[in-house]
Structure 1
């Protein structure tokens, strides 16, 4: 039996690392962390004790082309407040799809990064 401890990281393919970094660092304000000297081109971010790894794939193979589809692959980040997150996204000009009364037991907000990777923000109800 495998004894799972926690999710370590999520990796996303991006077409242009500079464009992706601008979004994740300037818009989402993620903290970049040190990345080992790998042969691939990429950058790593800390999200709590987990990581988000962006890997440049300029050929665009296996990258999404369409908008938000919540049954497609995505990753979710728990945030403190649904309303504050919506306000921040609006102030930053980031389009989103909000589900403040989601049946899953918490609120949900979906956005797309510049490469159409889906990011979900979850928060408690009434936050």
Structure 2
């Protein structure tokens, strides 16, 4: 019984400390498997306007892009790409959502709101406007106007 009590106290202490730790995580990067690296790189560069950066000496089948806040997206050429679902997406924000939507329309790039209506936004319960589009491999990307 004494052993069980010690184990229980240790377990509860572990759970309490794990819940109160603050590791101050920041986003570093997302890695995406893509079928055609050149086509995907063109999308992230020309459509989303991301800066391509040095890939740290990795193989030519890996290209890195960077957002203004230094968060990176790593594109990795692969024959395998995961299935996509709108609920699993990356999200970017801009203060120029309306301007970006006009850019997408001028480039004939499809976008939609959460419910799937083409060329329009929806507003989340917190007041943020959003749209969704897909990259060349079908990954969903939310673009919203949630600028802090």
TM-score range, shorter chain: 0.7 to 0.9
Aligned residues: 119
Q: Which has the higher helix share?
A: 2
Gaps in structure 2 of 5+ consecutive residues = 1-20, 114-120
Q: Any gaps of 5 or more consecutive residues in structure 1?
A: none
Alpha-carbon distance in structure 1 between the residues aligned to 2:52 and 2:33:
17
Q: Is the 8 A contact 1:76 1:122 kept in 2?
A: yes
Pairs within 5 Å for 1:47-58: 47-48=67-68, 49-57=70-78
Question: CA separation in 2, counterparts of 1:27 and 1:82?
Answer: 13
More strand by share: 1
Q: What are the equivalent positions in structure 2 for 1:36-55 lying under 5 Å apart?
A: 36-39=56-59, 41-48=61-68, 49-55=70-76
Find the aligned partners of 1:50 and 1:115 in 2 and give their Cα distance. 21
SS of structure 2 residue aligned to 1:76: strand
CA distance in 2, matches of 1:62, 1:124: 28
User: How far apart, CA to CA, are the structure 1 residues paired with 2:136 and 2:49?
Assistant: 15
Which residues of 2 match residues 74-93 of structure 1 at below 5 A? 74-93=89-108
Higher mean Cα deviation, 94-103 or 75-84?
94-103
Equivalent pair of 1:34/1:44 in contact (CA under 8 Å): yes
1:12 partner SS: strand
Q: In angstroms, what is the RMSD of aligned CA positions? A: 2.1
Instruction: Name the larger-Rg structure.
Output: 2
The structural deviation recorded for 1:124 is 4.4
Deviations 1:7-62 (A, max 9, x none): 111111101101111211222221101111224721111112211111111x2242
